[in-house]
Amino acid sequence: MALSRSGSKLLKPISPFFSSAPSILTRSISSSNDSITVETSIPFTAHNCEPPSRSVTTSAAELLSFFRDMALMRRMEIAADSLYKAKLIRGFCHLYDGQEAVAVGMEAAITRKDCIITAYRDHCTFLSRGGTLIEVFAELMGRRAGMSNGKGGSMHFYRKQGGFYGGHGIVGAQVPLGCGLAFAQKYSKDENVTFAMYGDDGMGTAEWRAAKSPAYYKRGDYVPGLKVDGMDAFAVKQACKFAKEHALKNGPIILEMDTYRYHGHSMSDPGSTYRTRDEISGVRQERDPIERIRKLLLSHEISTEAELKDIEKAARKEVDNAIAKAKESEMPDPSELFTNVYVKGFGVEAYGADRKELRATLP
Amino acid sequence: MLRAIRHKSIHPAFCAFRAFSSAAKEMTVRDALNSALDEEMSADPKVFLMGEEVGEYQGAYKITKGLLDKYGPERVLDTPITEAGFAGIGVGAAYYGLRPVVEFMTFNFSMQAIDHIINSAAKSYYMSAGQISVPIVFRGPNGAAAGVGAQHSQCYAAWFAACPGLKVLTPYSSEDARGLLKAAIRDPDPVVFLENELLYGELFPVSAEVLDSSFCLPIGKAKIEREGKDVTITAYSKMVGYALKAADILAKEGISAEVINLRSIRPLDRSTINASVRKTNRLVTVEESFPQHGVGAEICTSVVEESFGYLDAPVERIAGADVPMPYAANLERMAVPQVEDIVRAAKRTCHRSVPLAATA
């Protein structure tokens, strides 16, 4: 279905990207909302259920927002890599570049009343749940403006008001926690679901060391499952929509997102001891999630190459601005050492390393 | 003149030797642990290694480097990421008579497996009236690293040391690492062996005796790292280094500190600690972990029980802050003991003037 090219008018104002608006990740960027149908890259493979259709309804607006959001996430993660090497980020840093389609596609299929919980590779998920770049970079650098006031670090991002429950450092711990969230939703009779995300027991390790059976979507055995091309944001969106409907009616379902991270497991893993560089560049060539959307935008004549490059440039600028702002944020006040230990502290005392030198009362 | 290293199984590539002609050699803690594992595996075919990334990846912190190549996949086993699973498997193998060395990538992850450590390993010899012994070693880095946040920074010494049936060791130097790990592997009981990530790369001098493959340190004996007469400072693991630095600073101010490297948290060397306090009359305990119900609390009680009359000042306790470990660098620094905290506490015990020689 041909679309009239209203592209140039709608893409000219780049200023929204620089605003102090909480998030660039709004789906209301103006454009034609006529529906477009796209096909997922491959059909879904199903276990114990009927797979959804390969045809996904979208719109120019959604295509553009996918592109923008993923470009922002990509730039954010690459910037984090540099900050880590510059020693502005300490400890652990697990990057998500390559996997953006999962965060973006999932968000498009659900609401903020649905919950997401994940492990430590959480920067982009936080963003998709309504977090801001400044909160991300400030937290990574251990500053006050971080979403956890600098006290959590890379692995401990949260946004409860956005339905994002972290951000967990212990591999696999988030899975039973996610079940708990879902249980609470059912118990409270909310018509919402929880997405508990976990990797293929990811470490800087090879799949054959980490897991016995790599057909993950069948893992649950009698739990139905779907194998999804995780590099295709529309496949992700369709699968998550399907999964939500299924879960509300029939219970848990496993989605195996066949995705790919370009970086190693963490900044201390080169990511080359268990895969070849050719494999990585091959995926970048054939399956990159942002490139897929770019091609769709171009083939549907929603945008020109130049306009898309502008969006990417704007994303880069927004990331740079956020980093600059985050660097200005101060380190947490020393009194923060003792805040948020308890909701209700009963006035007990807590101590620093030298209990006679530093103590505080927990309210 | 140094005795030549006779044991063939020490692969020269793994040892960071600087071969001075007749001075002591130096070795990193990492190489000390690697060589100890190598020698014990060579000496006893029942010893095997298990853990995440111990084999093909050469060890998450390279402690087990080269061992898969040398001993093969039957004896160096890469496990999936399931601590509860492989700790249980290790304990079961130990029941049957093998001697597993199970690595936790950090002891924070041992909490996934703590049921097997306590209920399956520690208590079995007792419950079976001596039928089922559990010659297993659980080892890995413990305590705070740098900037790794609340879920990756806890010190577990006090928790494990509370449990009868377990032995808990905390090496500091390369000599400690070699001697205590060998002792742990040879010991017939379950041993929790708490290393420290930040110590792995540190170099320590090692004598020829330490390098010998039969070298072993006794379990349950502390080491007086530095003799002194005015105040006793007890510490374990990384804090031993801090205590020694504090002792240097105190010496400049005329306070002679005796630094005890505990080496063994369970059994705790109460007699060395008490003998020292009876000599100095003052005590500062130092640990990285949370203060409440900690190692320092136990040491203080031991001294109050056995040497109360000898104390000239209340016992001082330096520990990690009583909060989850914060990520921000400035808060993290406040959450972990610093050298100046130890110095300050030692001076507080000396609030009366330092005893004159006449009182000795």
User: Is the CB of A209 less than 8 angstroms away from the CB of B326?
Assistant: no
**Alpha helices, DSSP H, located in B187-233:** 208-211
Q: Which has the closest alpha carbon to B86: B37, B128, B49, B46?
A: B49
Distance from the A88 Cα atom to the nearest Cα atom in chain B, whole angstroms: 10
Contact A141, A322 (CB under 8 A): no
Beta pairing partners, B50: B77, B102
Q: Is the pLDDT of residue A109 over 70?
A: yes
Please indicate, yes or no, if residue B117 is contained in any of the structural domains: yes
Regarding pTM above 0.90, the answer is no
Query: What pLDDT, on the 0 to 100 scale, is given for residue A216?
Result: 77
Query: What pLDDT, on the 0 to 100 scale, is given for residue A202?
Result: 46
Please indicate, yes or no, if residue B71 is contained in any of the structural domains: yes
Query: What pLDDT, on the 0 to 100 scale, is given for residue A172?
Result: 87
Weakest mean pLDDT among A2-16, A122-136, B273-287: A2-16
Closest Cα in chain B to A149: B328
Which residues of chain B does A170 touch, with a Cβ-Cβ cutoff of 8 Å? 108-109, 112, 151
Q: Which has the closest alpha carbon to A79: A347, A298, A315, A352?
A: A315
Please indicate, yes or no, if residue B357 is contained in any of the structural domains: no
Looking at the structure, tell me whether residues B95 and B186 fall in a common domain: yes
Work out the number of other CB atoms within 10 angstroms of the CB of residue A97: 23
- Give the C-alpha separation, B295 to B317, whole Å: 10
User: Is the CB of B329 less than 8 angstroms away from the CB of A204?
Assistant: no
Give the rounded distance of the alpha carbon of B328 from its chain centre. 27
**Identity of the amino acid at B82:** T
SS3 A73: helix
User: Is the CB of B327 less than 8 angstroms away from the CB of A91?
Assistant: yes
B288 in catalytic set: no
Which residues of chain A does B338 touch, with a Cβ-Cβ cutoff of 8 Å? 353
The arithmetic mean of pLDDT across residues A64-87, rounded, is 98
Looking at the structure, tell me whether residues B145 and B282 fall in a common domain: no
Burial annotation B92-125 (CB, 10 A radius, 16+ → b, else e): ebbbeebbbbbbbbbbbbbbbbbebbbebbbbbb
Contact B63, B33 (CB under 8 A): yes
Which residues of chain A does B318 touch, with a Cβ-Cβ cutoff of 8 Å? 353-354
Please indicate, yes or no, if residue B227 is contained in any of the structural domains: yes
Tell me if chain A has a CB within 8 Å of the CB of B326: yes
Residue to substitute from B54, B331, B349, interface A, most A β-carbons within 10 A: B331
Query: Who among B53, B145, B323 is closest to A341 (CB)?
Result: B323
Last residue of a domain, one of B211, B245, B269: B211
Last residue of a domain, one of B162, B181, B211: B211
Q: How confident is the model at residue A207 (pLDDT cuts 50, 70, 90)?
A: low
User: Is the CB of A354 less than 8 angstroms away from the CB of B328?
Assistant: no
| DSSP strand pairing (B231-235 vs B76-78) | unpaired
Query: What pLDDT, on the 0 to 100 scale, is given for residue A213?
Result: 64
Contact B141, B110 (CB under 8 A): no
Residue to substitute from A141, A149, A198, A209, interface B, most B β-carbons within 10 A: A209
Q: Is the dihedral of CA A90, A91, A97, A101 positive or negative?
A: negative
Cis bond leading into B324, ω under 30°? no
Q: Is the pLDDT of residue A26 over 50?
A: no
Q: How confident is the model at residue A221 (pLDDT cuts 50, 70, 90)?
A: confident
Looking at the structure, tell me whether residues B198 and B227 fall in a common domain: no
Q: Which has the closest alpha carbon to B307: B283, B277, B282?
A: B277
Contact A37, A56 (CB under 8 A): yes
Q: Is the pLDDT of residue A28 over 50?
A: no
Q: Which one from B40, B52, B83, B298 is the annotated catalytic residue?
A: B83
Closest Cα in chain A to B332: A337
Eight-class DSSP state of B310: G
Q: What is the CATH number of the domain that holds B242?
A: 3.40.50.920
Residue where the block lists tokens 């492990």? A119
Which residues of chain A does B321 touch, with a Cβ-Cβ cutoff of 8 Å? 337, 350-353, 358
Tens-place pLDDT, residues A232-259? 999 999 999 999 999 999 999 999 999 9
Q: Is the pLDDT of residue A303 over 50?
A: yes
Q: How confident is the model at residue A210 (pLDDT cuts 50, 70, 90)?
A: low
Query: What pLDDT, on the 0 to 100 scale, is given for residue A212?
Result: 57
Please indicate, yes or no, if residue B358 is contained in any of the structural domains: no
Taking an 8 Å Cβ-Cβ cutoff, which residues of chain A contact chain B? 90-92, 139, 142-143, 148-153, 155-156, 168-172, 201, 203-206, 209-212, 273, 331-332, 334, 336-338, 341, 350-358
Looking at the structure, tell me whether residues B156 and B236 fall in a common domain: no
User: Is the CB of B344 less than 8 angstroms away from the CB of A357?
Assistant: yes
**DSSP for B99-141?**
EEEEEPSSGGGGGGGHHIIIIIIITHHHHTTTS-----EEEEE
Query: What pLDDT, on the 0 to 100 scale, is given for residue A217?
Result: 81
SS3 B269: coil
Q: Is the pLDDT of residue A24 over 60?
A: no
Looking at the structure, tell me whether residues B178 and B295 fall in a common domain: no
Number of domains present in the structure of chain B: 2
Q: Which has the closest alpha carbon to A121: A260, A248, A244?
A: A260
Distance from the B87 Cα atom to the nearest Cα atom in chain A, whole angstroms: 16
- Give the C-alpha separation, B358 to A172, whole Å: 64
Query: Who among B109, B323, B344 is closest to A170 (CB)?
Result: B109
User: Is the CB of A205 less than 8 angstroms away from the CB of B337?
Assistant: no
Looking at the structure, tell me whether residues B36 and B83 fall in a common domain: yes
Taking only the tens of pLDDT, chain B with its 360 residues reads 444 444 444 444 444 444 444 557 999 999 999 999 999 999 999 999 999 999 999 999 999 999 999 999 999 999 989 999 999 999 999 999 999 999 999 999 999 999 999 999 999 999 999 999 999 999 999 999 999 999 999 999 999 999 999 999 999 999 999 999 999 999 999 999 999 999 999 999 999 999 999 999 999 999 999 999 999 999 999 999 999 999 999 999 999 999 999 999 999 999 999 999 999 999 999 999 999 999 999 999 999 999 999 999 999 999 999 999 999 999 999 999 999 999 999 999 998 544 444 444
Please indicate, yes or no, if residue B86 is contained in any of the structural domains: yes
Residue to substitute from B62, B322, B332, B336, interface A, most A β-carbons within 10 A: B322
Distance from the B84 Cα atom to the nearest Cα atom in chain A, whole angstroms: 12
User: Is the CB of B291 less than 8 angstroms away from the CB of A152?
Assistant: no
Query: What pLDDT, on the 0 to 100 scale, is given for residue B277?
Result: 98
Structure tokens at B225: 């790292």
B83 in catalytic set: yes
Which residues of chain B does A200 touch, with a Cβ-Cβ cutoff of 8 Å? none
Residue to substitute from B54, B323, B341, interface A, most A β-carbons within 10 A: B323
- Give the C-alpha separation, B352 to B347, whole Å: 9
SS3 B285: strand
- Give the C-alpha separation, A23 to A16, whole Å: 10
Tell me if chain A has a CB within 8 Å of the CB of B304: no
Contact B352, A362 (CB under 8 A): no
Q: Which has the closest alpha carbon to B193: B172, B224, B222?
A: B172
Distance from the A341 Cα atom to the nearest Cα atom in chain B, whole angstroms: 7
**Alpha helices, DSSP H, located in A220-340:** 233-250, 277-287, 289-299, 305-328
The parent domain of residue B279 ranges over 223-351
- Give the C-alpha separation, B69 to B48, whole Å: 13
Looking at the structure, tell me whether residues B48 and B177 fall in a common domain: yes
Closest Cα in chain B to A340: B323
Mean pLDDT of chain A: 89
Which residues of chain A does B56 touch, with a Cβ-Cβ cutoff of 8 Å? 206, 209
User: Is the CB of A273 less than 8 angstroms away from the CB of B57?
Assistant: yes
User: Is the CB of B57 less than 8 angstroms away from the CB of A205?
Assistant: yes
User: Is the CB of A353 less than 8 angstroms away from the CB of B316?
Assistant: no
Q: What is the CATH number of the domain that holds B146?
A: 3.40.50.970
Tell me if chain A has a CB within 8 Å of the CB of B317: yes
- Give the C-alpha separation, B260 to A183, whole Å: 52
Please indicate, yes or no, if residue B1 is contained in any of the structural domains: no
Please indicate, yes or no, if residue B272 is contained in any of the structural domains: yes
Looking at the structure, tell me whether residues B308 and B160 fall in a common domain: no
Work out the number of other CB atoms within 10 angstroms of the CB of residue B47: 21
Q: Which one from B7, B11, B152, B202 is the annotated catalytic residue?
A: B152
Cis bond leading into A251, ω under 30°? no
Looking at the structure, tell me whether residues B198 and B231 fall in a common domain: no
- Give the C-alpha separation, A335 to A326, whole Å: 21
SS3 B61: coil
Distance from the A81 Cα atom to the nearest Cα atom in chain B, whole angstroms: 16
Looking at the structure, tell me whether residues B204 and B332 fall in a common domain: no
Beta pairing partners, B233: B259, B284
Last residue of a domain, one of B169, B184, B211: B211
Contact A232, A108 (CB under 8 A): no
Looking at the structure, tell me whether residues B39 and B59 fall in a common domain: yes
Give the rounded distance of the alpha carbon of B176 from its chain centre. 8
Looking at the structure, tell me whether residues B185 and B240 fall in a common domain: no
Which residues of chain B does A138 touch, with a Cβ-Cβ cutoff of 8 Å? none
Pairs of residues, one from chain A and one from chain B, whose beta carbons lie less than 8 Å apart:
139
Tell me if chain A has a CB within 8 Å of the CB of B337: yes
Q: Is the pLDDT of residue A129 over 90?
A: yes
Q: How confident is the model at residue A214 (pLDDT cuts 50, 70, 90)?
A: low
